[in-house]
Amino acid sequence: MSATARTTGLLDGLRVIDLSLWQPGQVATQLLADLGADVLKAEPPGGDRMRPQIDRFVNWNGHKRSEVFHLKQPDDRARLLALVAQAEVVVEGFRPGVADRLGIGFEALRAANPAIVVCSITGFGQAGPLANVAGHDYNYQAYAGAFTFHGEHPPAHAGMLAGDMGSGLAAAFAILAAVLCARRTGEGEHIDVAITDLLAAWVVPAGPIDEDGGTTAPSDRLPGMGCYRTRDGKWVELGVYSEDNLWDQMCHGLGLGRYAGLTMVQRGEQATALRAALTQTIRSHDRDDLVALMLPLGVPVAPVLSREEMLAHPNSWERGVLLRDAEGRRRAGHPIRYAMHPVLPPGNPPALDAHHGEGFTVLGEGGGRSLL
Those residues with Cβ within 8 angstroms of residue 25's Cβ, 6 or more apart along the chain or in another chain: 18, 19, 91, 92, 93, 119, 121, 168, 171
By C-alpha distance, which of 71, 77, 81 is closest to 110? 81
Those residues with Cβ within 8 angstroms of residue 118's Cβ, 6 or more apart along the chain or in another chain: 89, 90, 91, 92, 106, 109, 110, 188, 189, 190, 191
Question: Which of helix, strand or coil describes residue 350?
Answer: coil
Handedness of CA 46, 49, 53, 59 (dihedral sign): negative
Name the β-bridge partners of 229: 235
Reported in sequence order, the residue ranges of the chain that DSSP labels E, i.e. its strands, are 15-18, 38-43, 64-68, 89-92, 117-122, 148-150, 153-156, 189-194, 225-229, 235-239, 301-303, 322-324, 330-332, 361-363, 369-371
Question: Catalytic residues, which ones?
Answer: 164
DSSP code per residue over 150-173: ETTEEEE--SS-HHHHHHHHHHHH
By C-alpha distance, which of 68, 64, 63 is closest to 42? 68
DSSP 8-state secondary structure symbol assigned to residue 192: E
- The answer to whether 228 touches 238, Cβ cutoff 8 Å, is yes
Q: What is the 3-state secondary structure (H, E, C) of 235-262?
A: EEEEECCCCHHHHHHHHHHCCCHHHCCC
Question: Residue 371, CB half-sphere, CA atoms under 13 Å: how many?
Answer: 8
Question: Which of helix, strand or coil describes residue 133?
Answer: coil
- The answer to whether 19 touches 90, Cβ cutoff 8 Å, is yes
Q: What are phi and psi of 351, to 5 degrees?
A: -70, 150
